[in-house]
Chains A and B, each alone.
Chain A
Amino acid sequence: NAGVTQTPKFRILKIGQSMTLQCTQDMNHNYMYWYRQDPGMGLKLIYYSVGAGITDKGEVPNGYNVSRSTTEDFPLRLELAAPSQTSVYFCASSHRAGASTDTQYFGPGTRLTVL
């Protein structure tokens, strides 16, 4: 299993540009998540999905959009890039079989710079 994969690894955007960060998992996990991590900070949840066709906002959703058309893929869309969106973006997935404990598996991250 490749686990959670993310593309691209690095990207530089100009203010106002748009892009999609790709995330794919091959573990057949129901739940998927997008986080951002600013330098020296913890991870903040942007959006999450509990299954195909279902998404919900996390702690910091403004400026982002997501979709979940398949179990495997959970792309994150930035429509009008702003310098405040310069960050490292991590995608994660988990099984969530109803137990109270659950492990999230993280992708390698996408380092985004908006200039």
Chain B
Amino acid sequence: QKEVEQNSGPLSVPEGAIASLNCTYSDRGSQSFFWYRQYSGKSPELIMFIYSNGDKEDGRFTAQLNKASQYVSLLIRDSQPSDSATYLCAVVTGANNLFFGTGTRLTVIP
């Protein structure tokens, strides 16, 4: 079983809609969870992190964590064409290193 699993997509949403990106992880002891955005040909950049159950909001982005279900998600409200990118979920494991999912490619259609 992979450490971190994401639907590779592509996920297409119309401009202004809510994009929902999902991630599951296998290590029940994981404590910290990150969402990175990666534009084509560029390096990953941090969007936000979450480590408590529930929701965490930052502007148009909301991260949701459910440790019992081993599930973390990212919602992007009022999606813009500039949000078109690959979104990487990353989980800190017991060795205190990040395990990355393969990413979900999001396309926002104008």
Contact = CB atoms under 8 A, between A and B. Distances in A.
Do A and B come from the same complex? yes
Interface of A: 33, 35, 40-45, 48, 58-59, 90, 100-109
Chain B interface extent, by class: 20 to 34
A100 B43 contact: no
Interface string B1-39: 000100010000000000000000000000110100000
A43 B99 CA distance: 8
Nearest to A105: B46
B98 interface: yes
Interface of B: 4, 8, 31-32, 34, 42-46, 49, 51, 88, 92, 97-103
Contacts of A43: 44, 88, 98, 100
Given A40-B8, A48-B97, A108-B42, A103 B102 contact: no
B49 A109 contact: no
